[in-house]
A = this chain, B = another copy of it.
Amino acid sequence: MTETNRTESEFVKEITPKSQDYSQWYVDVIRKAELMDYAPVKGCMVIRPYGYAIWERVQEGLDRRFKATGHMNAYFPMFIPESFLLKEAEHVEGFAPECAWVTVGGGEQLSERLAIRPTSETIICSMYAKWIKSYRDLPVLINQWANVVRWEKSVRPFLRTTEFLWQEGHTAHRTAAEAEAETARMLEVYRDFVETDLAIPVIAGRKTEKEKFAGAVATYSIEALMGDGKALQAGTSHYLGDRFARGFGIQFLDEDNTLKYVHQTSWGMSTRIIGALIMVHGDDRGLVLPPKVAPYQAVIVPIAPTKERETVISAAAGLHDRLTATVRVTLDDRAEYTPGWKFNEWEMRGVPLRIEIGPRDIKNNQCVLVRRDSGEKTAVPVDGIEDAVAKTLADIQRALFDRAKRFMDENTHRADTLAELREIVETKRGFVIGGWCGDPDCEAKVKDETGATIRNIPFTAPAAAARCVCCGGEAKHTVYFARSY
Contact = CB atoms under 8 A, between A and B. Distances in A.
Interface of A: 1, 3-7, 37, 39-41, 44-49, 51-53, 55-56, 72-81, 84, 97-107, 113-114, 116, 123, 126-127, 130-134, 136-138, 140-142, 146-147, 151-153, 162-163, 165
A153 to B, nearest CB: 7
A281 to B, nearest CB: 22
Contact of A74 (B3, B44, B75, B130): B3
Contacts of A162: 79, 105
18 contacts: A4-B138, A5-B136, A6-B136, A7-B137, A40-B126, A41-B77, A41-B79, A41-B114, A49-B74, A52-B72, A52-B74, A53-B73, A79-B163, A100-B104, A100-B114, A101-B103, A106-B152, A116-B116
A75 B102 contact: no
Given A79-B163, A146-B147, 16 more contacts: A3-B72, A4-B138, A6-B136, A37-B127, A37-B130, A39-B76, A40-B123, A41-B81, A49-B74, A52-B73, A78-B147, A79-B100, A98-B106, A100-B114, A101-B105, A116-B116
A141 B49 CA distance: 10
Contacts of A77: 39, 41, 44-46, 163
A55 to B, nearest CB: 8
A72 B1 contact: yes
A3 B141 contact: yes
Given A39-B77, A46-B127, A123-B41, A3 B53 contact: no
A44 B77 CA distance: 6
Which of A39, A40, A127, A136 has the most C-beta atoms of chain B within 10 angstroms of its own C-beta?
A40
Which of A1, A6, A39, A41 has the most C-beta atoms of chain B within 10 angstroms of its own C-beta?
A41
Given A4-B140, A39-B123, A142-B3, A73 B102 contact: no
A345 to B, nearest CB: 14
Contact of A56 (B46, B73, B81): B73
- For the complex of A and B, 9 pairs with smallest distance between CB atoms: A106-B151, A49-B72, A44-B77, A47-B75, A101-B104, A4-B137, A100-B105, A105-B151, A5-B136
A147 B78 CA distance: 9
A460 to B, nearest CB: 34
A98 B4 CA distance: 33
A100 B113 CA distance: 11
Contact of A75 (B79, B99, B137, B165): B165
A104 B103 contact: yes
Which of A81, A84, A105 has the most C-beta atoms of chain B within 10 angstroms of its own C-beta?
A105
Contacts of A79: 41, 44, 100, 162-163
Contacts of A165: 75
A167 to B, nearest CB: 13
A132 B53 CA distance: 20
A296 to B, nearest CB: 12
Contacts of A45: 77
A44 B72 CA distance: 20
